Amino acid sequence: MSENPETITGETTPSFFARASVQTEVLPIGPGIPFGLERVYNAELGIGGVYGSWGASYDNAALRTFIEGRLGQPMQDDEMMNLAELGFLHRHHLPDLSEADHLELELEVGARLLREAALVNGWQPSEVQGVLIGMSGPVATDYVAQVARRAGLPEHVLKVSVHKACDGSMGALHLALNPRLTAENQLNVAEALQGKKVLVGGIEGLSRFTSRARDKNALQLFGNGAGVIGVIPGQTMKFLVGRSHEAFDQEGLLEVRMFYPYAGPADDGSLVRVSQETPDHVRVAGRMHEPEDGSPVVMAGLMGMVKLFVRTGVQVVAEVMRDYQALMQRLGTPDKPIAVAIVHHANYKINQLKAKQLGKEGIRFPMPWLLSEFGNVSAASNMIAFLRQLPHIRPGDHVLFDGFGAGTYYDVMAVAFGR
């Protein structure tokens, strides 16, 4: 795994809003909400997108006071995590807002992300033919439809809402690229979007989501963040191999309330329920182990998170890499490597341990840590990490995407770049 010394020591990394390439403003909602976006485009690949955050930026020192205000009680020294060691130096949080202000804020943020992601790719919003968004706890059940409309996308654009916790954006990308994911009698999203202009991302208002949480670990780790990319499936991004895996978290190591419609396990026993909300809106909803007290999130300690994600995560990545190596052998390029892996940033130690365990299986590729200014931003993290790595990807490169989230859900895929 590639280490970034600045991330680990916390000495020199500024806040996201302080980056010279970030465009910032204050959105006139509530007391005024800071908002920043960064645009990224790789002309060689014909792929770009935007990422950003909203809310005040708290470094690790200032975070304690913020959390104590939320809880209405002091934090003990032994309750504070070593966040720099976990790879997180800043995260973005909101003041108390009304439900109406939360809705307006996230609709405006989402619409700007979709509109700007289209424009970065040289598309008008009216040209977009598909939009797939991963969200852990949507502010509205028809959030994707609302932001698509506000962004100026066509009314008939194919909309896919994916609720698989932190795996949501990777579940969305996998659906857009892999035609073998769709069950019989369901719309085949990948086939429908082949060769079309598509926006894929993760939009996570986690400061709102955790505002009523009492879990002190969750309050320290999570924050707002979003990333949306533009792809033309089969052209600018080509699917090679991939696997989608689910294994219900029986122990409730990471409990998450489902703020979205969920009708129960599917007839085939899958934890994921796919429904056709309207002719042009598909919802993918994954079952979660929900907190019994109705709170938004309850999580085990760090070792619980390692137990939850590493063992099965390594297994799924290893299976995909076996499929990849077999494909490369058939194509006559057995030595073609994975140039880089874009891994969900749950925390640095989880990714570090995954890299170590994969190494024991003989699987090695760069896994850079790229999100120190955001905290854990759930489904947004893979998209932000990809956009930060995008300038370094070359035509012909093969890249591994590794998503995992509470539930638990895994979407791992290898893709090729180049038009």
Residue 268: pLDDT band (50, 70, 90) is confident
Give the Cα separation of 295 and 279 in Å (integer): 33
Q: What angle do CA 407, 211, 73 make, to 5 degrees?
A: 115
DSSP 28: S
The β-bridge partners of 415 are 239, 399
Residue 223 has what pLDDT? 97
pLDDT at 163 > cutoff 50: yes
Torsion of CA 220, 412, 5, 388, to 10 degrees: -90
Q: What is the mean pLDDT of residues 146-157?
A: 97
In three-state secondary structure terms, 66 is: helix
pLDDT of residue 10: 45
What is the predicted pLDDT for the residue at 184? 65
Under the banding of pLDDT at 50, 70 and 90, the label for residue 307 is confident
Helices and strands of the chain, counted as H and E runs: 11, 17
Q: For position 277, what pLDDT does the model report? A: 87
CB 230 within 8 A of CB 244: no
Q: Which residue has the tokens 């085939």?
A: 268
305/322 Cα distance (integer angstroms): 26
Task: Give me the mean pLDDT over the 294-298 stretch.
Answer: 93
**Could you tell me whether strands 198-204 and 130-134 are parallel, antiparallel, or unpaired per DSSP bridges?**
parallel
Judge contact between 299 and 395, C-beta under 8 A.
no
Q: What pLDDT was estimated at residue 1?
A: 59
Measure the N-to-C terminal CA separation of the chain; round to a whole number of Å. 29
% residues pLDDT > 90 (the chain):
89
Structure tokens belonging to residue 295: 């709170």
- Total Cβ atoms within 10 A of residue 25: 12
Specify the DSSP class assigned to residue 390.
Answer: G
Least confident of 2-6, 21-25, 243-247, 413-417: 2-6
Q: Can you give the pLDDT at residue 305?
A: 84
Q: What is the pLDDT of residue 6?
A: 42
**Cα 13–Cα 16–Cα 20 angle in degrees, nearest 5:** 90
> How far apart (Å, rounded) are the C-alpha atoms in residues 236 and 417?
6
Structure tokens at 205: 């208002």
Q: Token pair of 372, please?
A: 């120190």
Find out whether the peptide bond into 312 is cis, omega within 30 degrees of 0: no
Confidence at 250, pLDDT banded by 50, 70, 90 = confident
Give the chain's mean pLDDT. 94
Unique residue bearing structure tokens 């190591």: 253
| 375-379 mean pLDDT | 97
Q: Across residues 88-93, what is the average pLDDT? A: 97
DSSP output for 95-110: ----HHHHHHHHHHHH
Domains of the chain, CATH where assigned: 5-417 (3.40.47.10)
Distance CA 37, CA 31 (A): 20
- Tell whether the model's pLDDT for residue 5 goes beyond 70: no
Tokens of 119: 């424009």
pLDDT in tens, 325-360: 999 999 999 999 999 999 999 999 999 999 999 999
Model pLDDT for residues 91-142, shown as the tens digit of each residue: 999 999 999 999 999 999 999 999 999 999 999 999 999 999 999 999 999 9
Give residues with Cβ within 8 angstroms of 107, minimum separation 6: 139, 140, 143, 146, 147, 150
Length of the chain: 419
pLDDT on residue 265: 80
Structural tokens at position 134: 């991963």
